[in-house]
Amino acid sequence: MFTTNSIEQFDLEGLTLQQLRYFNAVAEGETFADAAALIGISQSALSQGIARLEQVTGTRLLERDGRRRRITDAGELVAEYARRVLGESETLAAQLEERRTGRTGRLRVGMIDAAALYLFADAIAGFRDEFPEVALSIAVDGSAELEQRLTDFRDDVVIVVGPAARGVATHLVTEPMHLYGPDDSSDAFALYPTGSRTRIAIDRGLAAAGITPRVMAESGNPAVLRELCRLTGSQTVLPAAVAGPSGDLSRIADHVAERDVFAVTREQTAASPLVAGFIARLTAE
């Protein structure tokens, strides 16, 4: 019999990863047969595992809907919990394996586009050469979004524009930014998006130079900003690596702003050898 008594009535100490893995398979599969096949067990073994999980939680997790089984509201809570716990368990297993060998495992890196395009391209390639057995994955996004990915355990380390809002930050580089425009540039500007960390640094630098920009376009993609300047005759503030190679823009003023780039890891989580080695290679770049 299932009750709605308080949590003290539930024998949650009997909860196991295997039970959560079984229920996660049910939540992801269309049918019980799909779920059983997903984890390589029989349907009867899966049914027994789910029944035991219902006993442990004291709650009905599945109910009949015709010939199918439907997850209850309580079951949705358990399914969300299972996904989170199984994900963190996989992270723990990977970290333990990394600590045991120091040469293999999984490394999930998030980074701003500048890090992948030119700031650390050689360092990343060198890391891949040194650790060919490491499963390295890279996600490119904005700084705030990357820090959220780190918090959500979707990345192990992120490379962002500072100041970092959370986590443990290691300073990597200070990148100067210069004022550019075509030879016949107007007083209009194409800049990074309002509120972004790079834009805050640019606004501060322009204000210090006595410049109040008339912004006609915004983009988080520096290559787009460069092209907008070329097409519209506007000015922009960019790193030399982005603006210089094209030859279409002239440098109007040097070092009007700068941005600091950091590698950030989660707080209260000891950095694995892979993460530490990756950051060390970036700082040596």
Torsion of CA 275, 150, 121, 195, to 10 degrees: -140
Cβ atoms < 10 Å from Cβ of 6: 8
Give domain 7-92's CATH number out of 3.10.50.40, 3.40.50.1980, 1.10.10.10, 2.60.120.10.
1.10.10.10
In whole angstroms, what is the distance from residue 79 CA to residue 82 CA?
5
Q: Output the average pLDDT for the chain.
A: 87
CA distances from 229 to 42, 258, 284 (A): 63, 20, 34
Q: What is the pLDDT of residues 210-238, one digit of tens each?
A: 999 999 999 988 889 998 988 889 999 99
Contact call for residues 266 and 167 (beta carbons, < 8 A): yes
pLDDT for the residue 2:
47
CATH code of the domain made up of 99-160+271-283:
3.40.190.10
Q: What is the arithmetic mean of pLDDT over 137-153? A: 92
Contact call for residues 66 and 29 (beta carbons, < 8 A): no
In whole angstroms, what is the distance from residue 113 CA to residue 90 CA?
28
Tokens 């992270």 identify what position? 91
What six digits make up the tokens of 202?
């640019």
Cβ atoms < 10 Å from Cβ of 231: 12
In whole angstroms, what is the distance from residue 265 CA to residue 283 CA?
15
pLDDT for the residue 189:
95
pLDDT for the residue 70:
86
CA distances from 100 to 86, 94, 136, 187 (A): 21, 10, 18, 59
Domain segments of the chain as ranges? 7-92, 99-160+271-283, 173-261
In whole angstroms, what is the distance from residue 201 CA to residue 238 CA?
11
* Whether residue 101 has pLDDT greater than 80: no
In whole angstroms, what is the distance from residue 262 CA to residue 86 CA?
30
pLDDT for the residue 98:
65
The pTM assigned to this predicted structure is: 0.64
Query: Do 173-261 and 99-160+271-283 have the same topology in CATH?
Result: yes
Q: What is the pLDDT of residues 128-144, one digit of tens each?
A: 998 888 889 999 999 99
> 246 or 258: whose pLDDT is higher?
258
CATH topology of domain 173-261: D-Maltodextrin-Binding Protein; domain 2 (3.40.190)
At residue 21 the predicted structure's pLDDT band, cuts being 50, 70 and 90, is very high
Contact call for residues 174 and 258 (beta carbons, < 8 A): yes
